[in-house]
Structure 1
Amino acid sequence: MIHCLNRKCTQPQNPPGYLFCSHCGSKLRLCDRYSALEPLLEGSRTFYGVDEGVSPSRPCVIKQIAHQNLGFQTPEAALDYFRQEAAKLQVLGQHPQIPQLFAYIEQEPTIQNFSPSLVQEYIAGQSIEQEVFTEGEIRQLLNEVLPLLQFIHDHQIIHRDLNPQNLIRQANGHLVLVDFSAAKITRKTALAQTGTLIGSAAYSAPEQLRGKATYASDLYSLGVLCIHLLTGFHPFDLFSTMEGIWVWESYLADPVSDDLRAVLNKLLAESLNLRYACAQAVYQDLNPGKTLVSRGQTLPISVPEVLNRVTPRWQCVQTLEGHHSSVHSLAFFPGGQELASAGADREILRWNLQQEHPQPRRCSGHRSIIDALVIQPETGELISGSWDYTIRFWQEQQEVKRLEAHAGWIHALALSPDGGLLVSGSSDRTLKLWHLPTGELRHTLKDHDSAIYALAVSPDGQKLASGSGDRNIRLWNLQTGELLHRFTGHTDKVTALAFSPSSQLLYSGSADQCLKTWHCTTGKLIHSVNESGSAITCLALNRAGNLLVTASEQGTLTLWHPGKTIPLITLSGHEGAIRDVAFSPTGLLIATASQDQTVKLWQVV
C-alpha cells in the first residue's frame, strides 16, 4: 500500500502503483521520488518508505513535522527553526552511527495540507530494548556510544531521547542511533504528558523534565539505559520514589565491578555538579590511561540555501575530449586547478580546469600504455608508470628522470604522504619502494602470485596495501617492508584500494563485484557489499573520509557513505568501462577516466 501524505486525508491508504490518492487526489510520490508505504508507529506521521530516485531503489524514513507540535505560534517561526535543525542533521548524518539525511522538503504543491518533511536513511535491525546485558557487554556498549555522544555534543547538539528503542543493532552487530531528528526537533518540555513519550520520560534527566536539558542530560539517559539493560527491569522499577534514589543494584542477577558501579552511579547523579559533564570524562574513567578519539573533525553547520527540494545530487558537468584511445589514469595537481590524464595512446594530457574549454598540454615519451599517475605533493612533479616497464618523472611537458627496475608492466603507483617514498606495482608480481630524493631502490617486496593491480599508502605513512590478480590483499609496513597481514576473501582480481583517514580501515574493490572493508589492526573483514552489476574497476575516498566512490566495468559510478551498505546514488554517462576515478583536493569535484576515450568531471549541482 502507498500512504497519502495529506495530513487531513481520511482514507490515506492506496493500492500499489497508484500515482494519486484515490480519496483526496494528492500526489502520492513526494518530489516524484519518495513514497510512504506505512506508518512506523500507529497514528504517527513517520513512515517507512522507498526512495525510487536511485537504482536500485532503497528504503527510507519519511517524517512530517507540524508547527503546532513544535510549540511555535506561527508556521514561519517553526520553519526557521526546522531549517536550522535540518542543516545540523545533514552534517551529523555523515557519522556512520547516525542515519543520513537524504532530503528536506519544505513545500510540495501537489500534496494538499503538506507539512515540511525529512527523508532519512532507514536502518534495518532490531532495537536493544529486549536485550539483557552482562557487565562486559555494557562496557562494550559504553565504548561504542560514548564516542558517538561526544561527536554529537561537539556539534552543540543534545540528543534528548537516548533510550533502548532508539539504539538499533544492525546485522553486523554495530549500533546506530535513530529517531535523532525527532528527538532534537521536538521541544520536549513536558515529556510525560502523552503516552507516546512515557518511555522517553523514564530515561530523562531531572533538569530535562524541567525544560533545561544540557549535554550531561544525555549522559544521565545513557546511565539509565545501562541499568535497564543490566537488570532487565524498567527504569520506573529501579528508582525508589520514597527515598529518592536509584536502587538498581538490588535488581542485579550478578554483581558488577566496583569501577563500573562508580561510573554508572556518577552518570545517574541527580545534581549536575556531581554528574559527568562530558562523554570524554566517562570514557577515561571506564578506560584508565586512554583518551577518547573523536571520529572526524567538527564540521561547520550552515543552513542550506534551497530547502524546498531534495538534497543536491552529483551530475556530470563537463566532458574532456583529447585522448585518441582508452584513458586509464588520473591525478589532480595540488590546489585542484589542474588535472592530468593518461592511457593507451601513450600520452599524458594536462588540463587547466579554470578554463571554460580546456585545451590540454601533451607529454609524450612512453612506448606503451600508461596505467598509473601520481603527483609529488611538495614539488608538483608528475610521475607516470607504464607497460613499457618504466617510471618517468615530468616537469611541465619535459621528462626529467626515469626509473627502470621492473620486469613487467607497471599497473600501479602510490606515494607516501610526505612524498618521500614511491611504491610501484607490476605484472612481475613485485612491489618496489623507491626513495625519491635519491632515486634509490629501498625494498623489493615479494609475496603475491600474480600481477599487482592496486596500491594504497595509509595517511599516517606507516602502512602499504597491495591488491593482486591472485585475488588477495597484502598489508605491509611501509618503512621496513615487513608483511603484516594477508587479507583473503575476494574471488577475482583486486583492482582498487583506499585507506580511511584514520588509517585503521582499508576498502577494497574487485572484479568479483564486491566492495569490502577490512580492519587493518585485526586483519578481519568488517563487511562486504555486492554491487550486483559489474566488476569494480577502481575506487576513491575523499579526504574527509565520508564519501566513497566505486566505478564499474559497465561505466557506472556509485557513491557510498563509508560504513553503510546501501549506495547513495549510481551515476551513468560513460559509454565504456571507467578505468580510474579521483577526487579533487577539496573533494568538491570527481574526475573519471574511461575506455570511451573521455574524462568526465562530476559535481554537486
Structure 2
Amino acid sequence: MICCLNPDCPNPLNPNGKKLCQTCSTPLVQLLRNRFRVIQVLSDEGGFGRTYLSEDTDKLNERCVIKQLAPKFQGTWSQKKAMDLFAEEAKRLQELGEHPQIPTLLAYFRQDNCLYLVQQFINGENLLKELQQRKAYRPGEIQAILLDLLPVLQFIHDRGVIHRDIKPENIIRNRKDGRLSLIDFGSSKQLTAKVQKKIGTSIGSHGYSPLEQIRDGKACPASDLFALGATCFHLLTGTSPFQLWMEYGYGWVNNWREYLRSPLNPELDLILDKLLQKDIQQRYQSADEVIAQLTPKQPLALPPAGQSSGKLPVTQTPLLPAKSALLRNIVLVSAVLLLFGFGGSWYQQYRRVQTILLSRLNQYHNNSDKSEALVQPQNMTLNNTIALANTIQGHEKSVVSIAISPDGTTIASSGDRDPLEKPPQEGLRTIKLWNAATGEEIRTLEGHSQKVNVVAITPDGTTLVSGSDDKTIKLWNLATAKEIRTLEGHSDSIQALAISPDGKTLVSGSDDNTIKVWNLATGRLMRTLIGHTFWVRSVAISPDGRTLASGSFDKTIKIWDLAKGKAIRTFSGNANTITSIAFSPDGMILASASRDRTIKLWNLATGEEIRTLVGHANTVTSIAFSPNGKTLATASRDRTIKLWNLSTGEEIRTLVGHADTVTSVAFSSDGKTLVSGSEDNTIKIWRLSGQ
C-alpha cells in the first residue's frame, strides 16, 4: 500500500502502482526525497499535517517515522509558529538523538510546499495506550518509570534543553527491550538566561505543565519534573490531570493523594509530593536530586568470616537501625489504621501519623552523608576486596578524562568548563596532575583554548598528551609541566588518543571522522586513516603495537594494520554508537562499549563476537582491562562502575558513589588501583586486592 500525503484526505491508503489517490485525486508520491516510502497514517496533527509510518529504502526498508507540516493558512501567525516549532524539533533531535532513549533525526527537508521531519521509529506503545489497556500502574512500576526517564531528562537538561510537554502520550515503551523513549521535542526550548527571563507564549499540556509554564511561558528543569510527576500521578491513579485542571485549576496538586487507591510507600510518597509542588521553589530543581532520593544507600553484607575486626572499610556501612525502625513504625501504624480506623476518614488519620514519621525520616536523610561510596557485591565466590581510598575534589566542572602514570604515583585529569559561561572563565580548560597516594594537587597545566577531552601518558612516564576541542594535540613534560609542542592537523575536536607500547607512535581520533598517526618524538604526521563515516570517539593500540582499533558514532569498529595504515576488518554488530574500546593485555580480545548499554567482547583473530555483557542502566562511557586480563572495569552514565569476570562474563562488583556520569576509568600498572573520573567534578581512587 502507498499513502496519500494530502493531510485532509479521509481515506489516504491506496494500492501500489496507482498514480492518483483514489479518494481525493491528489498525485501520489512514490518516494519522498527518492528514499522514503510512506505506508500508513499514525496520527493527525490537527490540520497542520500528519505523522506517518514509513520505510527507508536506503536502509533495507527499515521502519521510520515521518512528520509532515502542511499548514493551510499561509502567512498567518499560526503558520509561522508551527514552522518555528517544527524546525526547533528537528534541531533538538539532531542535538539529542545520540541518546538511546531519544529518536534519532534521519532527515529534514522541504518537498511540494510541505516540510518533512524523518526520525527513528520506536516500535512500541505510548504509556497512555498502556494505561488504557491496564487501568493503573503499581507503585513499583512507577519507581521503575522514574528511574528509566530521569537520566534522560538529566541528559537533555545538561545540554540546556527543556522538553516542556512531558505526558504519557510522549513516552513510548520499546517492545524489544522495555526501555522508555521520550518523543516530541516540538515544544522544547533552549535553556538560556534569555528564555528563563522572558515571558513568552505558553507551550505545553494543561494539567501536566506547571503554573510558571502555562501562565508566564517560563520553563526550566523543574518544569519538566512537575510534568513527569503529573504523568506518574496519571499512571498511578488512572485520573487525568487535564480533567482535574479543568475542574480545579492547580488546586488538585494539594490533594493529589485523595485519588490514590491505596497509600504509597514513604519514599515514593515524598518524591511525588515534591515533584507536584505548585511553587517552583518547593520542587526538585534537577533530575539528579530525584534520582538521589530514589536510590538511597543500602547496607552491605558483613565482612567475611575471618576478617580482622576494627574500623569498617570506607566502602562498607553498618546497618541503619534508626531508618529501619522509622520505616517499620510507618508500616505498623498504617496497618492498624487500615484495619480498625480511628474516627474520621482512614486517609486523614493515616496522613497525620505518616507525616510525623516521614518528617523524622526526611530529617534522617538530610543528615546522612550522601557522598559516601558503596561497593555492592554481586559474586561473593571471588576473593576480591575493594575499598574507596580517596575522593579528589578540585575541578570546577566535569572530569572528562583520566590517566595514571606507569609508576602509579601520578594521576592526570582533564576538566570541562561551563558551556553556558560567557565569556568563559580562564583556568577551566585545564589539565591537573595529582599525587595518587595523597590526592593532593601537584600542578595545573593550561594552554588549550577549549575543552580538553582526553589525556594519555607515555609508557616511560615522561610525557603527557592531551587532545582538545580546539583541534590541537599538546605534548607536555610530565616532570616540569612545560609544554613541549603542539600538533595540528585535525579539522575538528580531538576525542581519543592512544600511544604505542614502545612510546614512538601516537594515534588520535577526531570528530572530523579521521584517525591520524603521529611520530611522537618529532611530532610529524605520518598518515591519516579514512574509513569511518561519523565521529571517531575511541582508539586503542594492541599490546604488540601492530594493530589499531577505532570506534565511531557510525556504529562500527575498524581494525587497522598500524604500520601499513590499511583497514583489516570491520566489526558491525553494534546497535548503537561505539563509546570506548580496549585491547586485553594478551592482545587476543577487543572489548567495546556502546550507547545501547552493552559491552561486547570480540575475538580479534576471527572478528567473531565472544559474548555480550549486560547490566548497566545507561550508556557505557569507558572501559579498561586489569593488567592480568582477568577483570574488565566499565563506567556508565548510570553513575556506577562495574567489574566483570572475563572468563565467565559474570558481574563481580558494582561500585557506587559518584553522583553523576562516570566518564573515565583506568587501572594502575600493578592492578591494585582503579581510578574513576565523573561529571560530579570528582576523581575517586579505589584500592583492589586479589587482582
TM-score w.r.t. length of structure 1? 0.50
Higher relative contact order (CA 8 A, sep 6+): 1
